[in-house]
């Protein structure tokens, strides 16, 4: 084999370096979601103050500059991570609609249990604790959580109460207010109990919820 042939074969068999191009829109969105998910887990486990952007960036193999290009400071990243984490753990509209049962009482029980079950998961409890702890610093995260996690259920419930009132079976003057009061009355107490670190057996949750639902319906009956 001639020297010229050796050179040609070496040139054609050598690996060609491919310049990395700009990521596609889908890839960029996936990386952004990864960043928010990682930030959420860090904030959830450590709290706001001990969590650093440096640690989050290193965990997802990003530079701090890349993170700061999207979020000017840790507070902005925290708010975005809380929104993302709440959205991923909120009940879907399909799940909310699936609470419909043959009777209004049973539907209200299912609605309440759905909210309690979601808030009572290990991550749900940690999220509630984080929001309660950091609310003095970020009062807007309460509203964010309510709009994403609770409001769709409240609207669904308000529509049910309006239907029952039009049918003459209930006497509700303000459906949205009544729906919010229902959620506070039936859901908040068990959730607070779970957040405090106490165990609440499923049968106790069911008994509390059914008692509160019956109490609510008696108060909403036509006079």
Q: For residue range 171-188, list pLDDT tens digits in order.
A: 999 999 999 999 999 988
Domains of the chain: 22-88 (1.10.10.60), 91-219 (1.10.357.10)
pLDDT for residue 86: 95
Please tell me the predicted confidence (pLDDT) of residue 190. Answer: 86
Residue 9 pLDDT: 46
Q: Average pLDDT for residues 28-37, to the nearest whole number?
A: 93
Q: How many CA atoms lie within 13 A of 127 on its CB side?
A: 28
Question: What are 100-140's pLDDT values in tens digits?
Answer: 999 999 999 999 999 999 988 889 889 999 999 999 999 99
Is 191 within 8 Å of 120 (Cβ atoms)? yes
Orientation of helix 74-89 relative to helix 122-134, angle to 10°? 140
The maximal CA–CA distance of the chain, rounded, in angstroms, is 107
Mean pLDDT (the chain, rounded): 89
State pTM to two decimals.
Answer: 0.82
Give the per-residue SS3 of 162-193.
HHHHHCCCCCCCCHHHHHHHHHHHHHHHHHHH
């Amino acid at each position: 084999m001639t020297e010229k042939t050796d050179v040609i074969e070496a040139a054609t068999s050598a690996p060609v370096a491919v310049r990395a191009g700009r990521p596609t829109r889908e890839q960029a969105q996936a990386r952004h979601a990864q960043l928010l998910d990682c930030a959420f887990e860090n904030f959830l486990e450590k709290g706001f103050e001990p969590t650093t952007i440096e640690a989050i960036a290193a965990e997802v193999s990003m530079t701090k500059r890349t993170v700061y290009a999207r979020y000017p400071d840790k507070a902005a990243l925290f708010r975005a991570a809380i929104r993302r984490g709440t959205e991923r753990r909120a009940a879907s509209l399909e799940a909310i609609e699936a609470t419909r049962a043959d009777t209004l009482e049973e539907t209200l029980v299912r609605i309440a249990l759905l909210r309690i079950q979601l808030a009572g998961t290990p991550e749900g409890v940690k999220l509630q604790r984080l929001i309660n702890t950091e609310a003095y610093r970020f009062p807007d995260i309460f509203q964010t959580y309510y709009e994403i996690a609770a409001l769709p259920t409240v609207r669904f419930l308000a529509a049910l109460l309006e239907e029952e009132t039009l049918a003459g079976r209930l006497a509700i003057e303000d459906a949205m207010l009544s729906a919010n009061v229902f959620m506070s009355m039936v859901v908040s107490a068990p959730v607070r109990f779970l957040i405090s670190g106490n165990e609440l057996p499923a049968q106790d949750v069911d008994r509390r919820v059914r008692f509160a639902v019956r109490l609510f319906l008696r108060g909403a009956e036509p006079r």
